[in-house]
Amino acid sequence: MRDIFLFVIIFGLIPVMLKFPQIGILTWSWVSYMNPHRLAYGFAYDFNFLDYIALFALLGMLFSKEKKIFPRHPITYLLALYFFWVSLTTLFAINHEVAIPKYITLVKILLFTFATLLIMQSRVRINALIWVIVLSIGFYAFKGGIFTILTGGSGRVWGAPGSFFGDNNHFALVLLMIVPITIYLIQVTEDKRLKIGLAVLTMCEIMAIFGTQSRGALVGMVCMFTFFAWKAKKLWILVILFPFLGAIGFMFMPDSWKERMASIERYEEDASAQGRLTMWRVAIDVANDNPVLGGGFNVFYDDGVRTQYLRPGEEGRAVHSVHFEVLGEHGYAGYLIFFMLALTTYLTGNRIIREAKANPRFKWCGELAAMIQISMVGYASAGAFVNLATFDLYYHLVAIMVMTRVVMAREMTAEAATEYPKNRTSGLQQTGSAHSTGKIATT
């Protein structure tokens, strides 16, 4: 029954997507983040809905009469440069067989990132996209938070099956990044019932992070909330927040969770931590030998690379770090582009926040930019312990930052154009009045 219902919903939206391409973007985001077909039990479970959604969303975009302009922003150019660079590193990859699947995944992500930049350039559409992302991931966050509470944290929380955040560590990172975005919705939502619902969801997201038992997420949580307090210029928040989070961890969570978190200090004795350090060293060695192009996507899974760079007794595994993942796969040049993309996004947020303070009309822009910056801190810190350099959410947040800047700049220009004729007319009237009374207008 779920399978039929899902087919009716998604394929029933096709005519709407063809007429309104923004619905195609929202539908693609919903299926990408929530993976509703993985909640079915029949033929829909393995059906590739995203390819069909992508096809009709792009057709709708091509045939739509709505004016479309790519944002002329440094982030857009950096995204295009990064796409060109990873295409080049894939062309010269050490192992094309393992590189191509991941490259295709990134192509799909960046394709819809560009489509999002082209179509979703309005406040209503930006907020609609944020609602879809938050509620899609929030579905699993709510379940995970309740599960953590009911089990006392004895069971581990996992993400959506078959998704890019199915692993507990990956899900923890996604949850960490979605908390600030949920807080943004609380800030801009006027309905009190929705505010309460979003506040409950935020608490479930935090509880689910604890439930994943991810040590990297704990580090990311400390970094993210510290940055949040500094950004808000309210460091006293830490005095309340950290004891509260500590109380959750050490009074509510079981001994197995406490022992796992305490192992952060004893990383020399932890096999998982030592495995990460080993692969980080391998990433540096690969980059040193291939400083410009790196080894290509998934180079760490190539048997030849493992034989060459692993020492006797060491075991090959995933690199478990966004930073070392990009470094090993795309070289120092590729990592520089990746870093510049993040830095430019952050600095764009600073500009949005600064200009929003001068005009209350754009308060929502400043609040959104600040929350995206906080999410990026969570990604940079917790992402240092998971290999998720290629996933939708990060690029969606980058695109949302660009679109927020575009909408803000466009409305500020329109506002200035509206005010200019008024001021000019007022000036002419005053000048005419001065002449009519025999007075001389002076400068």
The number of residues making up the chain comes to: 443
Mean local confidence (pLDDT), 191-205: 94
Question: Given a cut of 60, is residue 330 above it in pLDDT?
Answer: yes
Q: List, for residues 57-102, the tens digit of each pLDDT value.
A: 989 988 888 888 889 899 999 999 999 999 999 999 999 999 999 9
Question: What pLDDT shows up at residue 442?
Answer: 32
Among 211-225, 258-272, 344-358, the range of highest mean pLDDT: 344-358
Question: What pLDDT shows up at residue 141?
Answer: 95
Question: What pLDDT shows up at residue 323?
Answer: 95
Question: What pLDDT shows up at residue 242?
Answer: 60
Mean local confidence (pLDDT), 4-16: 91
Question: What pLDDT shows up at residue 260?
Answer: 60
Confidence of residue 430 (pLDDT cuts 50, 70, 90): low
Mean local confidence (pLDDT), 118-147: 95
Question: What pLDDT shows up at residue 439?
Answer: 39
- What's the chain look like in SS3? CHHHHHHHHHHHCHHHHHHCHHHHHHHHHHHHHHCHHHHCCCCCCCCCHHHHHHHHHHHHHHHCCCCCCCCCCHHHHHHHHHHHHHHHHHHCCCCHHHHHHHHHHHHHHHHHHHHHHHHCCCHHHHHHHHHHHHHHHHHHHHHHHHHHHHHCCCCCCCCCCCCCCCCHHHHHHHHHHHHHHHHHHHHHCCCHHHHHHHHHHHHHHHHHHHHHCCHHHHHHHHHHHHHHHHHCCCCHHHHHHHHHHHHHHHHHCCHHHHHHHHCCCCHHHCHHHHHHHHHHHHHHHHHHHCCCCCCCCCHHHCHHHHHHHCCCCCCCCCCCCHHHHHHHHHHHHHHHHHHHHHHHHHHHHHHHHHHHHCCHHHHHHHHHHHHHHHHHHHHHHHHHHCCCCCCHHHHHHHHHHHHHHHHHHHHHHHHHHHHHHHHHHHHHHHHHHHHHCCCCCCC
**Cα 336 from chain centroid (whole Å):** 19
Mean local confidence (pLDDT), 168-189: 94
Q: List, for residues 199-243, the tens digit of each pLDDT value.
A: 999 999 998 998 888 888 888 888 888 888 777 766 656 666 666
- Does pTM surpass 0.75? yes
Name the least confident of 11-25, 214-228, 273-287, 392-406. Answer: 214-228
Higher pLDDT, 179 or 415: 179
Question: What pLDDT shows up at residue 436?
Answer: 42
Instruction: Please give the share of the chain, as a percent, with pLDDT higher than 90.
Output: 57
Q: List, for residues 137-151, the tens digit of each pLDDT value.
A: 999 999 999 998 888
